[in-house]
Structure formats: C-alpha cells, structure tokens
A = this chain, B = another copy of it.
Amino acid sequence: MVTIKDIARTLGVSVGTVSKALNGRDDVGDELRARIIDTARELRYEPDPIARRLVTKRSRTLGVFMLDRQGFGVRRNFGWLFLDGILHGAAEREYDLVLFSNTDDTRYERSYIDICRSRRVDAAIIVGLRGDDRYLDDVLNAPIPVALIDTEVSGGSATFVSSDNRAGAALALEHLASLGHEKVATLRAPFSYPGRLRYEAWAEFAAALGCFRDDYVRDGDFTPESGMSAAESFAAMREMPTAIFAASDLMAIGLIRGFEKRGVRVPEDISIVGFDDIPNADLVGPALTTVAQDTLGIGKAALDAVLDELDSGSRREEILVEPRLVVRQSCAAPRAAAGSVKG
C-alpha cells in the first residue's frame, strides 16, 4: 500500500507538504502542488482513512442500528427499506455506514450508545426503537447526534423522524370519502405512537362525517392475524361499514383474508385501505390501496439530521415527511344501498 511518504520521497519533499498540497491548503506553491497531485495519481495513492481518523478525531462514520421489532423477524421487518435512503445520503456526504443489530441478545449486553462510543462513530441512526427498550434512557441522553426512525418513542435529545401519520391517514380517508363512502370504520393499533396518531385522524374524520361510532373501531396489534379476527367481528355486524381504514398493511391484508373467508368480497362489498406500502403489497389479491411511507425520504432525512447536527451543533426535534396515497384495487365506490338482495 502506497503511503504519503512514498510521494514525499519520490519528489524529495516533506510529508507535511504533501499532505497540505493534497488537502488544498494554500501554503504550498502552485507548481509543486501540481507535481504532488500528479505523482499521487500515478502511484495510485489512497489516503488511509484509519490514520486520518486517528489524528482528526472524527471518524466520518455513523452507526445504524436495525432493531428487531417485537420479534417479527427479518421477513416482516419494514426497517430495511429505510436503510436504502440512509445509504444514499451517506454516499453523497461521504460518510461510511456501520451496521448493528440487536437480535443477538447474548452479544449486545450493552447500550447502543455504548457501542457507538466503543466504535468511535460520529452519530447514530436507530430504527425500530421500542418504548420499553432497556436502553431507552441512554439513547435519549446520548452525547452524540441520534435520529430515531420507525419508532414508538419521541422526546429526549434525539431527533424523531417519521411519516406525517395524521396527514397520511387524512389522505386515505379523503380518498374513501371521494369514492362516496359514508360509513368508514377503523382497525387501529393503539399501543403504538404512530398507531394512535392514525387513529386520531380517523376519529376527527369520522366525527366530521357523522359516522363516528364506538363499534366502528377495532383494536389490532399490527399482525395479519389481528386483521383476520377483526374481519370476523366486522362481518358479524348488523350494519357493516362500507370501508375500513387499517392502521397498517399487515392488518389490512388480514382484513381482506378474513372477509374472503366469510364470503364478503373486497372491494365489491367492502373497501379497505392500509398504511405503509409494505413490499409486495401490490401483489396480494386484490392489490392493496394504501398510503405509502416515503422510506427513502425518511432515511435521507434522518441522515441529514444527524450530520447537520454534527456540523452546526443545532438539533431538530422532529421531522415529518409526507407520505403519499397509492390507489390500487382494494377500494371502490360503495354499493348503492345496503339492500337485502345480494346480486
């Protein structure tokens, strides 16, 4: 591996001068600088990031923690989608990403922030942090910039990045209204913070529409199974809603499967709209109309947040990125009236 000394030796100058020339400092002559740059290129010199970090005290590296939420496992882990946005932003700003996970409990018997400290990363992005995480306090009092994505918690010294859940829910609800629905129910996920926000948006909407009824809300836990049982429950009602806003795609798909089993068809008999736009949501039958989280935008925003804090020293409390409605085939206009004849 060719070092800065090699360049210095072949040119007969000092290493300090080479370093300054390569780093664009102004106390080196133009002619010499050109020669240094030339031979650096000829020798295919690459500055050693390790040595550089040792002296500059900044690693130009940030830690990303992919936390396994409630044991869903990888296949259901939505978090990977954010990683792509983070990755792009990091590449643009010439930072490296080191990746950690907490699924291996035996190893990470230490706080995420401790890991950051030992790895000397400049900042951290944590995706999927739960409210009952045992290291929650450490995270919220971290001495380095931290961004939280896809998380239940808020507050503290970390910046909270998420979709604008209320706006997203409004998008879905307005779509339903524009289709002519007047009886729209919800399957909420009240235990999570985003879930509560989405529910509140529904509650306001339903109140405005005059269809707020206690028996139009069911509780789920983000799993398809909870969607299926909610479908059973809805299907048994005397006066079924004509549309359901589910707080997540997984639950929305559970609803579809549950209704399917009971013989009520989507979207002919009932419209269903989800939230998230999980992978392959366009492939379940019928293709799910849902409000898509801008996972790329969220990842990028989180990255910009911590890096900006690193540069400027000023932290942002919260960043909301706008989701967008993607209409597919699980919603339709309600049937003329809740008649008695079936066909």
14 A-B pairs within 8 Å (CB atoms) are namely A48-B54, A50-B54, A51-B54, A61-B98, A80-B80, A87-B101, A91-B108, A96-B98, A97-B100, A260-B285, A279-B279, A279-B280, A280-B281, A285-B285
In the complex the two chains form, what is the Cα distance from A280 to B227 in whole Å? 15
> Is A283 in contact with chain B by the CB < 8 A criterion?
yes
Interface size on A, residues (CB 8 A): 54
In the complex the two chains form, what is the Cα distance from A104 to B285 in whole Å? 33
The answer, among B51, B97, B99, B120, for a CB contact under 8 Å with A49, is B120
Listed in ascending order, the chain A residues whose CB lies under 8 Å from chain B are 46, 48-51, 53-54, 59, 61, 64, 66, 74-77, 80-81, 83-84, 87-88, 91-92, 96-101, 103-104, 107-108, 117-120, 224, 250, 253-254, 256-257, 260, 277-281, 283-285, 295-296
Task: Report the minimum CB–CB distance from A107 to chain B (whole Å).
Answer: 5
In the complex the two chains form, what is the Cα distance from A70 to B295 in whole Å? 20
In the complex the two chains form, what is the Cα distance from A49 to B88 in whole Å? 26
In the complex the two chains form, what is the Cα distance from A279 to B117 in whole Å? 34
Residues of the B chain whose Cβ atoms lie less than 8 Å from the Cβ of A284: 280, 283-285
In the complex the two chains form, what is the Cα distance from A66 to B83 in whole Å? 11
In the complex the two chains form, what is the Cα distance from A46 to B118 in whole Å? 6
Contact: B74 with A81, CB < 8 Å?
yes
Contact: A74 with B107, CB < 8 Å?
no
Contact: B54 with A66, CB < 8 Å?
no
Contact: B104 with A92, CB < 8 Å?
yes
The answer, among B104, B108, B117, B277, for a CB contact under 8 Å with A46, is B117
The answer, among B48, B61, B253, B254, for a CB contact under 8 Å with A120, is B48
